[in-house]
């Protein structure tokens, strides 16, 4: 399923994350978009580690900013769609981390 086919799908209609995740992946079919998500998530984790290690909570805000900035550049610049986080923020956040883990596990291509 491509982004063009899912343009009419309302993410609010999904009643479980298991049903939402295939839609989430279809909204990340562009390789550059996935790579930007991966980079943003990695930077977010680095910032979280720095916040804990340095005792500086502002690193958390930086990590959130970087994570979302990279993802949104991927969506608006390469995928040409709106992030599902605008309509399903929790499922989208969960999808970000599941896709991140699936990339590491080789189930989603980077």
SS (HEC) of the chain: CCHHHHCCCCHHHCCCHHHHHHHHHHCCCCHHHHHHHHHHHHHHHHHHHHHHHHCCCHHHHHHHHHHHHHHHHHHHHHHCCCCHHHCCHHHHHHHHHHHHHHHHHCCCCC
Average pLDDT over residues 11-29: 95
Task: Tally the C-alpha atoms within 13 A of residue 65's C-alpha that lie toward its C-beta.
Answer: 6
Tokens describing residue 54? 């340095």
Question: In the structure, what pLDDT confidence band is assigned to residue 7 with cuts at 50, 70 and 90?
Answer: low
Lowest mean pLDDT among 56-60, 85-89, 92-96, 104-108: 85-89
Average pLDDT over residues 13-17: 95
Question: Does residue 72 register a pLDDT over 50?
Answer: yes
Average pLDDT over residues 55-63: 97
Entry pTM: 0.88
Q: Which three-class secondary structure state does DSSP give residue 17? A: helix
Average pLDDT over residues 77-93: 91
Nearest to 21 by CA among 80, 102, 78: 102
Tokens describing residue 98? 């599941």
Question: Does residue 33 register a pLDDT over 70?
Answer: yes
Tokens describing residue 57? 């909570």
């Amino acid at each position: 399923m491509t982004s063009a086919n899912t343009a009419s799908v309302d993410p609010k209609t999904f009643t479980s994350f298991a049903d939402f995740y295939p839609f989430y992946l279809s909204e990340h079919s562009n390789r550059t978009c996935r790579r930007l998500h991966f980079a943003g998530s990695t930077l977010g984790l680095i910032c979280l580690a720095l916040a804990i290690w340095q005792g500086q909570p502002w690193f958390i805000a930086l990590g959130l900013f970087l994570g979302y900035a990279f993802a949104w550049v991927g969506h608006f610049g390469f995928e040409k769609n709106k992030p599902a986080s605008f309509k399903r923020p929790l499922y989208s956040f969960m999808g970000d981390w599941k896709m991140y883990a699936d990339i590491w596990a080789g189930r989603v291509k980077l």
